[in-house]
Amino acid sequence: MLKHIRPAIAALLLMSLITGILYPLTVTAVAQLVFADQANGSLVRDASGQIRGSTLLAQPFDGPQWFQPRPSAADYATVASGASNLAPSNPQLLEQVRANTSRWNASRWNATPDQPVPMELVTTSGSGLDPNLTLAAARYQLPRVAAARGLASAQLEQLIQANLEAPLVGPAVVNVLALNLAMAENRWPERDE
């Protein structure tokens, strides 16, 4: 009987070594060599080197002087991230959209009352932590941020354009954290003269 168990134990140990140690170490080494930034969380650092967040995760910003990300079903907590799972026919989803729209329309958040609020500013993303906004959603907030900061809208438009990213698929997007960090650090694009 030991003659039959010994090969099984040897195979178990060999496969444990390959799949439990060698393969993970190889994948980690390749990731660190080829994709170090992504493998380490795509962290965003300010001018002093302090970590301010990740380009992959949305975070809230307080005050009208900042661009705001999409709403989060999990209040921007990464542990409980996820969609609200409310179907389009669910009255609770309609109530959430109405509440978010009212928040934008009834407060000083909305500096452009003649424009409808972009859908992505009143609905959560699939992950609840989408860090990007479309150009339309960023531009919708532009008058409010410009007024709160005492800046010309054209200057903020240039900053939005400088932080515009074109993914392989889908519309161009602006990372809200990168945009707000550029404003906080006064990294304005060079003006064309």
pLDDT at 82: 67
Q: Could you please report the per-residue DSSP string of 41-91?
A: T-EEE-TTS-EEEETTS-----STTS------TTTT-STT-------TT-H
Percent of the chain with pLDDT over 70: 92
Q: Which tens digit of pLDDT belongs to each residue from 16-48?
A: 999 999 999 999 999 999 998 888 888 888 778
In contact, 91 and 139? CB cutoff 8 Å: no
| Structural domain boundaries in the chain | 2-36, 42-184
**pLDDT surpasses 60 at 111:** no
Instruction: Place 188 in a pLDDT band, splitting at 50, 70 and 90.
Output: confident
Is this model's pTM higher than 0.75 or not? no
Instruction: Please answer whether residues 177 and 70 qualify as being in contact, where contact means their C-beta atoms are separated by less than 8 angstroms.
Output: no
Q: What is the pLDDT of residue 193?
A: 44
User: For the chain, how far is it from start to end, CA to CA, in angstroms?
Assistant: 87
Res 117: pLDDT: 86
pLDDT tens-place string over residues 127-181: 878 899 999 999 999 888 998 999 888 999 999 999 999 888 888 999 999 999 9
Burial class (CB in 10 A: 0-12, 13-18, 19+), 74: middle
pLDDT digits (tens, 9 = 90+) for 45-67: 877 888 888 888 888 898 889 99
Better pLDDT: 77 or 94: 94
Q: What is the pLDDT of residue 44?
A: 83
